[in-house]
Amino acid sequence: MTVERARAVALQKPWGVADLSPWSSAKTDGAVGEIWFERSNKSAEDSSLLLKLLFTSQPLSIQVHPNDSYANSIGLPNGKTEAWYVLSAAPGSKVALGVREEITSQQLRSAIAKGTLPGMMRWRPVATGETISVPAGTIHAIGAGLVIAEIQQRSDATFRMFDYGRQRELHIDNAVAVADTVPVDTRAQPKRLTDQRTVLVSGPHFVFESIALAPNSVWTLMATQETWMLVAKGTARAGTSAITTGDAIFAKSDSVEIRAGDLGVQILVAYPDTAPVKALLQ
């Protein structure tokens, strides 16, 4: 039985930002691009899901992740499917998801080698509050001016395809082997379950929800399996922890009493399952 405040680990990235407010008070000497939320006990077993915050001042690389089968074939424990929730979007912010039109594997390989891949991508604007599903195999990129909450299968399996001249390694063979080369629509279709619960993404590797609690209301979240909670807006008390925007809680095999603050609270919740847990919130 576990309910604990997650440990926030800030990672510097060339495309990151210096000011993380209001999402984090972490202080570093450089630009932070990612905050990983980990178990409070460093010796605790890794969770199957990884919760992150992403901060972008420049475009990220164009990349793709493998599915479980391909990851296993190259000695990795699992692939990586992920989902994004846009916490903040500057005017003109955009993401790339898949190619604009169907191409062959050879055309993809040639575009990577020549550095022309950005022009083949399907770029589109994004707005605060939008959810995007990124299944394994989807070629994707995140543009500048965004703060994103990301939930993913825990995996380091990233195959870089274009990197804006940052001189990092490209992974052409693996990328071509796993990438979908037809247009895809990964815009999530949120589904309202109750007045409080909205399912953002459901299955096959995790369920991602947004929970909105009225001011000063009291609820119990049933974390029968590993469950990540991130405050997107507002304040609350989760168990014995006072939490505010950007804070995260990890729970497993336990119940979590949540007392919403005076202005209410929005909490993003993720857990490994193929469908929403019916009695998650009581």
Instruction: Please name the residues in contact with 109: beta carbons below 8 A apart, sequence gap of 6 or more.
Output: 172, 176
Instruction: Give the separation between CA 276 and CA 208, rounded to whole angstroms.
Output: 8
Q: Which of 189, 88, 173, 76 is nearest to 132 (CA)?
A: 189
Instruction: Write down the catalytic residue from 124, 160, 166, 259.
Output: 160
CA distances (Å), origin 239, targets 2, 139, 220, 235, 264: 11, 40, 9, 13, 16
39 is catalytic: no
Q: Which of 233, 228, 280, 229 is nearest to 261 (CA)?
A: 233
Just list the catalytic residues.
Answer: 160
